Amino acid sequence: MARLLEVRNLQTQFFTQDGVVKAVNGISYILDEGETLGVVGESGCGKSVGVMSLIKLIPSPPGKIVGGEVIFDGQDLLKMNDNEIRSVRGNKVGMIFQDPMTSLNPVLTIGRQISEALELHLSMDKAQSRARTIELLELVGIPLAADRIDDYPHQFSGGMRQRVMIAMGLSCNPQLLIADEPTTALDVTIQAQIIDLVKKLRDELGMAIIWITHDLGVVAGLADRIIVMYAGRIVEEAPVRELFANPRHPYTLGLIGSLPRLDEHARHRLESIEGLPPDLIALPAGCPFHARCKYRIEKCVAQNPPLELVGVGHKLACWIDVNKDPVTIEHPWREN
C-alpha cells in the first residue's frame, strides 16, 4: 500500500499564565492508504491535540505547533498558509468530532451544514449539493433522508446526530477520516452501530482512518494498528492483534488489565493504574510514567527511553521488557 501520511517529530505546546504546557512531545508515525490507526490513552495524554495539529486546528493563542512535519499526500501541511490548509480540511481530510451537539450549528439545518462543504470544495450548485446531501444521509442510515434534510440538529437523537457528522466528514470523499472519540457520548448499542457503519464505509470507500479513543475495546475490532500515548509521547505501537496478545509497555499492560473480560481466565479483580499523570508544565526528566510504574528501575528516573523497534511492526519506549525481564509482575488476565 502507498503511504498517505507521515508525521515526523510533531511538537505542540500551549503558552499559558501558569507556564508552557507540553501537550505533544515529538510523536512520529506513518499511515498507509486504506489503513485504520487507533490512538489510545487516558484523558490529557495528547491524543486529540496530536491529530488536531495535523490540520492546524490548534487555537492560537495559546496553542502553537513548535516543531515537526506532517507529510500528507506528498505535501507538508504545517507549511501551508490558511487558504491552502482550508482546501485540505473537509476535502482531502474529513473530521468527526466528539460531541455532535456542540459541533453542529443549532440554527442551520443539517442539510445546509453538509451542502456548504460540497459547494465550497466541489463547486456544486445548490440543486447538486442538495441531491448529494440526501445521498450522504441515506448512506449513513438516516431514514427518510429527503424529508429530514431540512430538520435542525435538536430534532435528531444523539446517534442520528453522530451519523450526520459522519455524513459531513465523508461529503467530499476524503482520503483520510479523523474520528475524535465519536462514540464517547453514546450508549453501547448506538456505539456498536456507529462502529459497524464506519467499518462498512471504510471498506466501500477505501479511505484511511485515524480513530482516537480512550477505550481499547472499541479499537480492538476496528483498527489495523494501535498507538498508545502517555504524557504527549508514543510509548508503544503495534498491529492490533500483536498489541493485545503481546503488550510490552507497563502502561499498555495497565490499560489492558483494567478491561473487563468474559472468558474463563478472567476471574479476578480488575487492575487499576495507581497515581496520576505527570504535570505537562513540569515533565520529569526520565520516563514520564516512572512514578506510576511497578517495574521501574533507577535508569527510568533519569533517562526517557526512545521509541525503538522490538518486533515486526512493534515499537516500544521502555527500559524494561516486561516479557523477558525477571522483575516482571504476573498479570492474571494474561494467558501463559
Supply the pLDDT for residue 326.
Answer: 47
Q: What pLDDT digit, counting tens, does each position of 136-148 carry?
A: 898 888 899 999 9
Sheet architecture: strand order including 225-230: 93-96, 176-180, 208-213, 36-40, 225-230, 233-239, 314-316, 308-311
CA angle 193, 247, 4 (to 5 degrees): 60
Q: In terms of DSSP bridges, do strands 63-72 and 75-76 run parallel, antiparallel, or are they unpaired?
A: antiparallel
pTM more than 0.95: no
- Which range has the worst mean pLDDT, 118-122, 153-157, 263-267? 263-267
Angstrom distance (rounded) from CA 257 to CA 319: 21
Task: Cell numbers for 210, please give them.
Answer: 485515524
| Mean pLDDT of the 285-298 span | 89
> Which residue is associated with the grid cell 509497555?
249
Q: What pLDDT digit, counting tens, does each position of 36-54 carry?
A: 999 999 888 889 999 999 9
Supply the pLDDT for residue 185.
Answer: 67
Is the pLDDT score of 233 beyond 50? yes
